[in-house]
Amino acid sequence: MTSSVLEAQGLGKKYGKRWALRECTIDIPAGHVVGLVGPNGAGKTTLLKLASGQLEPTAGSITVLGGRPAGGPAQLARVGFVAQGTPVYAGLSIADHLRLGARLNPRWDDARARERIAQLGLTFDRRAGKLSGGQRAQVALTLGLAKRPELLILDEPVASLDPLARREFLRGLMEATVEHQLSVVLSSHLVSDLERTCDYLIVLVDSRVQVAGEVDKLLATHHRLTGPRRDADRLPADQHVISASHTDRQSTFVVRTDAPIHDPAWTVTQLGMEDLVLAYMDKSTAECRRAALEMQR
């Protein structure tokens, strides 16, 4: 397996005059479960479709597992993709789906697929249209896993599922990731799901990557500072302000820094993943507000 599963340099995709993704530069190392998080319309699906070769970039470059996305049968066989809504063919039985998977995928593991379907308690003659949302999602995941990919890409696969079905899907995904040593990129706007599954995080807001890195390192270098009101420009240069809020007497900053914080005026607290994501979303919203005000002047 290559050291990087996905590399992008200045990657962008434009529809007409609108950029769905722009200036995306990331390098995702192999062996991680990557959470791609952001609000609806942030560009998550566009990035994943570029990675799976369903779209061609407008700007920049992207490589997946060291090659061009969908750059031939061998490259296609190395990447599994479960699209948004976990689509299956309503009129086909589970057995039909497995036969189709075997015909289309040279690395197909039929024994793995059949074993997993049996573990789920599903019968092979059941038509997909008769399955619940959670069962359809599990069948779609089974098809993706039976392809024996090195990288599995999932585009909001649990967004429409109830909490129990989401938990069962994610548990099955994590078990398969450990058993088969997969790299996974999982997009979602449900941060609570990502907290339980992901060890690498990419925050995408307003078509741009806001931050990317290993979750443990990101949480170790981001802090919430609360104390007497102070302007951001009075903070040390090595404390990069991500978000800020103020009352008449108090300021609260989320900062990124590798250095210890010694100022006794601050109460320093660590962030969870949800706090981290919301801070970068708040930063982007604030920047948009400032840009809008400048355009009006």
Asked if residue 66 and residue 13 are part of one domain, the reply reads yes
Residues in the chain: 297
What pLDDT score does 289 carry?
A: 45
Q: Please say which residue of 154, 185, 205 terminates a domain.
A: 205
Mean of all residue pLDDT scores within the chain: 91
**Mean pLDDT confidence for 70-90:** 89
What are the pLDDT digits (tens) for 215-253?
Answer: 999 999 999 999 999 999 999 999 999 999 999 999 999
In a domain, 145, yes or no: yes
| Three-state secondary-structure class, residue 136 | helix
Does the pLDDT value for residue 41 go beyond 90? no
Does the pLDDT value for residue 286 go beyond 60? no
In a domain, 212, yes or no: no
Asked if residue 260 and residue 162 are part of one domain, the reply reads no
Asked if residue 98 and residue 50 are part of one domain, the reply reads yes
Does the pLDDT value for residue 148 go beyond 70? yes
In a domain, 171, yes or no: yes
What pLDDT score does 65 carry?
A: 95
What confidence category does residue 285 fall into, taking pLDDT thresholds of 50, 70 and 90?
A: low
Asked if residue 221 and residue 201 are part of one domain, the reply reads no
**Mean pLDDT confidence for 16-39:** 94
| The overall pTM is greater than 0.85 | yes
Q: Please say which residue of 154, 172, 205 terminates a domain.
A: 205
In a domain, 132, yes or no: yes
Q: Please say which residue of 167, 184, 205 terminates a domain.
A: 205
Q: b or e along 46-73 (b: 16 or more beta carbons within 10 Å of the residue's beta carbon)?
A: bbbbbbbbebebeebebbbbeeebbeee
Q: Which helix (H) or strand (E) holds 164?
A: helix 163-180
What are the pLDDT digits (tens) for 178-196?
Answer: 988 899 999 988 888 888 8
Three-state secondary structure readout of 39-99? CCCCCHHHHHHHHCCCCCCCEEEEEECCECCCCCHHHHHCEEEECCCCCCCCCCEHHHHHH
Identify the residue whose tokens are 């997909």.
128
What confidence category does residue 104 fall into, taking pLDDT thresholds of 50, 70 and 90?
A: very high
In a domain, 161, yes or no: yes
Asked if residue 66 and residue 12 are part of one domain, the reply reads yes
Asked if residue 174 and residue 31 are part of one domain, the reply reads yes
In a domain, 72, yes or no: yes
What pLDDT score does 3 carry?
A: 83
**Mean pLDDT confidence for 53-75:** 94
In what order do the strands lie in the sheet containing 151-155? 79-82, 151-155, 183-188, 33-37, 200-205, 208-214
Cα separation, 40 vs 46, in Å, equals 12
Question: Closest Cα to residue 254, out of 285, 278, 288, 234?
Answer: 278
Does the pLDDT value for residue 293 go beyond 70? no
Asked if residue 182 and residue 283 are part of one domain, the reply reads no
Asked if residue 254 and residue 200 are part of one domain, the reply reads no
The domain in which residue 100 lies consists of 4-205
Number of domains present in the structure of the chain: 2
Sign of CA dihedral 72, 78, 84, 88: positive
Asked if residue 199 and residue 245 are part of one domain, the reply reads no
Asked if residue 253 and residue 200 are part of one domain, the reply reads no
Asked if residue 103 and residue 250 are part of one domain, the reply reads no
What pLDDT score does 192 carry?
A: 86
Cα separation, 162 vs 66, in Å, equals 37
